[in-house]
Structure 1
């Protein structure tokens, strides 16, 4: 098959939702399909003269001045990448299937002619943080076959009135995200993600860590993210800015014993899932995007959203009971391995056929 993915924009720093698309692209290509990833300058029409000029110059300027399109990801040799001004009939290649990957791409994909293939919509979040609610809801109601990564998003779709939805959980690359240091014997250390989006709950995570640090100042705490370390992050937190995947796997995930995630909402939480695959015990919030792979008391410790005291208590419990930490981490590493890209990719391909 010829398969197109339409991304919302070009993003050169690591983004979880983009990584999911790229993993699907690589899997499809490994199965002999021809895949094109399309990065538009915009997903809304701009008929102005300045817009037309910018459209004409943008692809060439980006390629000449910015280096590799996605320097943080290794693509299969049969995955093609294309810069376009706007994803319309003239810029999107003919295909058997074209897949929208965000709310802003859904309408352009729905308007493509039949020569671009059957239209699909990969839904990874309820993106009202990225667009107006009425626009996001409208994208879910378009006549597109929807691949939805989490059950809570299926539930949102039902509330909106969306139809033709299939639940396919994400996969993980276990050739990269794997256990390299034994769970037993790891010292108590905590790591968490820094992110600018409010739904990630970073201010809550910092408050949890401050409260915990007052009780256990001896426990090392680390943080990582694509952005620089801000003044809101205490000096006693070691920070990794935009770490390479090797550093992420070896030093951040395998190099720590507990991953803290205080998100208020997630589509399907990739970082905690990756950390679990690398032997971290997960302390997080009881939200739909985490419940896809985390079960309180079985392979994680989950708390209500914004429950600072509850998360501090969970961290203290792991500090005081290493057997509990090891039991949860071992169960997590085993249970997370069901989420393979072979499983997700074959299910997605079955929908495309």
Structure 2
């Protein structure tokens, strides 16, 4: 198959959603498919507000950053995956493609409105994208009569209420990247937490919970990490790591942690949570949707309502006070996420694309 993957411009920093797409691109070329990734500066669709002004801003961004789109340094991308860039897609770009994969709501709307063959168009949904845009616009994209792939069960159930052309391909954890080095039983009062400015990640609630934990456990150490600058005036018990690579995540963050604290209000999946679980950290999480596929209450995780910093703190304290419970939850969690294999997900992903191409060919 000839496959085009259309994504928005990137800034060459690690991203869970982009990692999934790049992993699949690598797998598809290893299977003999021809794959190109097109980074698009401007997505034009009818529901977008201030289209003229956004055209201008995105054109300037295209002039400034187009060449940078052809470099990805934080992940090893197979050289057979062709990287391209454009200001805006045109229908003729896909005349010879068997499948076109739209990686967000705006791209899906744009390509459908440009009458790129709908029977060749696949829309990858990795989150309820209302966290990035207006809900009415996202729902309009979800209503498009095209094949959709979602990465989590809660997304499958939500999209099915709107449109039926949807299939679940769960996210995965690479066993070669995330595994237990530091014995679970030997870990101290260490909690890790990701830093993210998006309000739906709700980092603030996590920090408030950890203040309470620190009052009970003065030897608490918090490993705080992310691609962004840390908040100002962090307490001395919080250690910040910026732009961690896979080795740093595995060895200096997850494998040092007794507990991974996952505080999102709404989450597509939660790759960092499954990575931490695979590395032996017990999961304490909010009930954020994405956790549903791997967070089982009192078996693989302790779950709390969103924004409940006291409940999150109590869960952490309970695990620090009961080491056997922490070990049990961490061990169960590591075992569960081992079943979320890349091979299984990649094969299912490929099969969906093959079926879309086959139907399109028959209809052609």
Tell me which moved more, 320-329 or 47-56.
Answer: 47-56
Question: Once structures 1 and 2 are overlaid, which stretch shifts more, 66-75 or 259-268?
Answer: 66-75
Partner of 1:172: 173
Aligned residues: 350
SS of equivalent residue, structure 2 residue 10: coil
Q: Equivalent residues in 2 for 1:127-276 (5 A)?
A: 127-159=129-161, 161-231=162-232, 233-276=234-277
2:282 alignment counterpart = 281
Note if contact 1:171-1:344 (Cα within 8 Å) is conserved in structure 2: yes
CA positional deviation for 1:154: 2.0
| TM-aligned CA deviation for residue 200 of structure 1 | 0.6
Counterpart CA distance in 2 for 1:158 and 1:49 is 35
Residue 59 of structure 2 corresponds to residue 58 of structure 1: no
Could you tell me the TM-score, scaled by structure 1's length?
A: 0.92
User: What displacement does 1:188 show?
Assistant: 2.3
The offset of 1:56, in angstroms, is 9.4
Within 5 A, what are the aligned runs for 1:18-97? Answer: 18-44=18-44, 55=59, 58=62, 62-63=66-67, 66=68, 69-92=71-94, 94-97=96-99
3-state secondary structure, aligned to 2:121: strand
Counterpart contact for 1:2–1:34, Cα < 8 Å = yes
Task: Assess if the C-alpha contact under 8 Å between 1:95 and 1:116 holds in 2.
Answer: no
SS where residue 3 of structure 1 aligns? strand
Could you say if the C-alpha distance between residues 236 and 9 of structure 1 is closer, same or farther in structure 2, counting changes exceeding 3 Å?
Answer: same
Going from structure 1 to structure 2, the CA distance change for 1:93 and 1:251 (only over 3 Å counts) comes to: farther
Distance verdict in 2 for CA 1:333–1:55, change over 3 Å: same
Structure 1 unaligned residues grouped into runs of 5+: none
Q: CA deviation at 1:235?
A: 3.6
Deviation track 1:244-274 (CA, whole Å, cap 9, x = no partner) reads 2211111011122210011111001100000
**Alignment correspondent of 2:358:** none
What is the Cα deviation at residue 145 of structure 1? 0.1
Structure with greater helix percent: 2
- Root-mean-square deviation over aligned CA pairs: 2.4
User: What is the CA-CA distance between 1:107 and the residue it aligns to?
Assistant: 1.3
User: TM-score, normalized by length of structure 2?
Assistant: 0.89
CA distance in 1, matches of 2:53, 2:12: 28
Structure 2 counterpart of 1:4: 4
**5+ residue gaps, structure 2:** 355-364
Relative to structure 1, the CA distance from residue 143 to residue 117 in structure 2 (aligned partners, 3 Å threshold; closer, same or farther) is: closer
Partner of 2:13: 13
CA distance in 1, matches of 2:271, 2:53: 41
> Is the CA contact 1:194–1:223 (under 8 Å) kept in the aligned structure 2?
yes
SS in 1 for 2:343: helix
Q: Which residue of 2 aligns with 1:317?
A: 318
**CA distance 1:235–1:24, shift in 2 (3 Å):** same
Checking the alignment, whether the CA contact within 8 Å between 2:213 and 2:220 is kept in structure 1 is no
